[in-house]
Amino acid sequence: MPETKIHLPLSGNLLMFWLVYNALLILCFPVIITLLMTKKRCRRGFLARLGKVPTDLQPRSERLVWVHAASLGEVTAIVPLLKAMKEEDSCQEIVVSTVTETGREMVLKQLKGIATHFYAPVDMWWAVSRYVRVLNPRLFLLVESEIWPNLLTSLQQHQVPVCLVNGRISSRSFPRYRLVRKFMKEIWSSFDLALMQTTQDAERIRELGAKVSVVYMTGNMKFDQSLELREKNDSTMAIRTTLGVKETELVIVAGSTHPQEEEFILEAYKSLIKTQKHLVLVVAPRHIERASELEKIIARYGLPFVRRSQMNETHPIWNHEESPRVILLDSRGELPFVYRVGFVGFVGGTLVPVGGHNLLEPAQWSRPVLFGPYVDHCRDIAHQLLQAGGAIQIHQPQQLEGQLLRLLKNPQEAEEMGRQALAVIQENRGVVEKNLRMIHQLTMHSGPTSSGLGKSSFDSSVENPNIMRKDLEPSSMSVS
């Protein structure tokens, strides 16, 4: 890989877009600075975000892989793949950039000894080009859906192979990207490999301008990540003891919740405990910095509660006979395991127009999954869980109480739903292995980014789903 910057000419469309985009960034720069300084979760790594490469990132190995995983969800999805990559080649160095603090914490916790963390620079030309020049990666992995035009352009100019992994294009983002498709086409075409979650994602990125020959549908790596978590967890009884929940008590776990959503859940719970005195509610807000705000909301409903952070792990401060209460899960990294103690798991970001979070977290413990109508970020998983009978989708918040009561009164139905939810995960295993094979072939066969890759560069047993014909069946569009 060349050590000095290579200046490739920008075409007319890309040059126009680049000029407009960067003019807007410069105009917004004071706002960006203000947000970085005032937002608590953005304050850390201030200089790094503005382009000052941390000392511990320089100099780096010639076999460096740069992974960008914006936040907690993206890091969680990529963990099994990075572990597999490190196991396959222990000499390569992996660095992971995130935007959020929760993403950083997940890297430090789950990828200790495997990857080094740093905060991603803002997409200002001078900032991203400095990182590309200093890191000089042999490969760049972009997780899921974040498109940073300046970063991708700089990688392209330095001839760094770029792979989109676990890629998705949401229904919300797709029409917005189409509005600027003419200008963005060459940005999308900078991908040397695009490994998409679903056939629809593959079709969308192809329509937006990605090269037909580099787009593959391999599936969602969260299926593999869920089974990995199952193998590491403490027993159900140990988690109950930690939370101060008796074996005779039933637990509703509401995870990754957002404002207003918690009120819908608390209303349903308050109504249920009029007859179900042995029912405990665990609420885990998506952003734990909202814990104090959520305390006030719970108090407004007149419900007793305790914060997880105020419990002693061996001797919970809550002393009680069986009685309704709310446990406010204000800790990081525990939610995927806490779902295990629930008889049902509600996944947030779905009763309000956020798009949904990881529906597989309760499913991995054979628990029925409840979610609302807003599942744009996890539509394919939601569809599979519903088709298998492992989930219930509610379309109005008022339906939440009725569906929870139904599962309470029919424990055998709840158990069967949980089994079907787990079966969905088991049937979709192997995505990490597919992606690893494709990435390995990319690093073996890729040339300059500008030249693109032909299908012949890859294993012929892996089918490219984007040589599209209307008469193709969906089953023929997957990686075997």
Q: What is the pLDDT of residue 349?
A: 96
What's the mean pLDDT in 419-424?
97
Spell out the CATH class of 232-427.
alpha beta
- Judged against a pLDDT cut of 60, whether residue 206 lies above it is answered with yes
What's the mean pLDDT in 312-316?
58
- Judged against a pLDDT cut of 50, whether residue 88 lies above it is answered with yes
Q: What is the pLDDT of residue 467?
A: 40
Q: What residues does 305 pair with on adjacent strands?
A: 326
Alpha-carbon distance of 359 to 339, in angstroms, equals 11
Higher pLDDT pick, 119 / 58:
119
Q: Tell me the CATH architecture of domain 40-225+431-477.
A: 3-Layer(aba) Sandwich (3.40)
What's the mean pLDDT in 136-158?
92
What's the mean pLDDT in 178-205?
89
What's the mean pLDDT in 282-290?
93
What's the mean pLDDT in 370-399?
95
Comparing CA positions, the residue from 291, 385, 280, 287 lying closest to residue 342 is 280
> Which structure tokens are listed for 135?
């890191």
- Taking a C-beta distance cutoff of 8 angstroms, is the pair 94, 376 a contact? no
Band of pLDDT at residue 111, cut at 50, 70 and 90:
very high
What's the mean pLDDT in 446-473?
43
Q: What is the pLDDT of residue 145?
A: 84
- Judged against a pLDDT cut of 90, whether residue 446 lies above it is answered with no
Counting Cα atoms < 13 Å in the Cβ hemisphere of 467 gives 7
Q: How far apart are the first and last CA of the chain?
A: 33
Q: What is the pLDDT of residue 152?
A: 93
Comparing CA positions, the residue from 36, 35, 65 lying closest to residue 49 is 36
Least confident of 9-23, 65-79, 249-263: 9-23
Mean pLDDT of the chain: 86
Q: What is the pLDDT of residue 300?
A: 95
Q: What is the pLDDT of residue 60?
A: 73
Q: What is the pLDDT of residue 460?
A: 44
What's the mean pLDDT in 154-164?
94
Q: What is the pLDDT of residue 234?
A: 61
DSSP symbol at 267: H
- Judged against a pLDDT cut of 50, whether residue 456 lies above it is answered with no
According to DSSP H, which parts of 89-148 are helical?
101-110, 125-135
Percent of the chain predicted with pLDDT > 70: 85
Q: What is the pLDDT of residue 197?
A: 94
Q: Can you state the angle between helices 12-38 and 149-157, rounded to 10 degrees?
A: 120
Which CA distances in Å does 332 have to 113, 220, 238, 338, 440? 20, 23, 18, 11, 33
In this structure, what is the dihedral angle of CA atoms 110, 161, 153, 217, given to the nearest 10 degrees?
-70
Name 130's Cβ contacts closer than 8 Å, sequence gap at least 6: 51, 53, 121
Band of pLDDT at residue 171, cut at 50, 70 and 90:
confident
Which CA distances in Å does 62 have to 1, 115, 133, 354? 9, 15, 12, 40
Percent of the chain predicted with pLDDT > 90: 59
- Judged against a pLDDT cut of 80, whether residue 47 lies above it is answered with yes
Higher pLDDT pick, 50 / 402:
402
Q: What is the pLDDT of residue 19?
A: 86
Least confident of 60-69, 411-420, 422-431: 60-69
- Taking a C-beta distance cutoff of 8 angstroms, is the pair 46, 36 a contact? yes
Q: What is the pLDDT of residue 253?
A: 98
Ranges in the chain annotated CATH 3.40.50.2000: 232-427
Ranges in the chain annotated CATH 3.40.50.11720: 40-225+431-477
Comparing CA positions, the residue from 298, 401, 393, 293 lying closest to residue 350 is 393
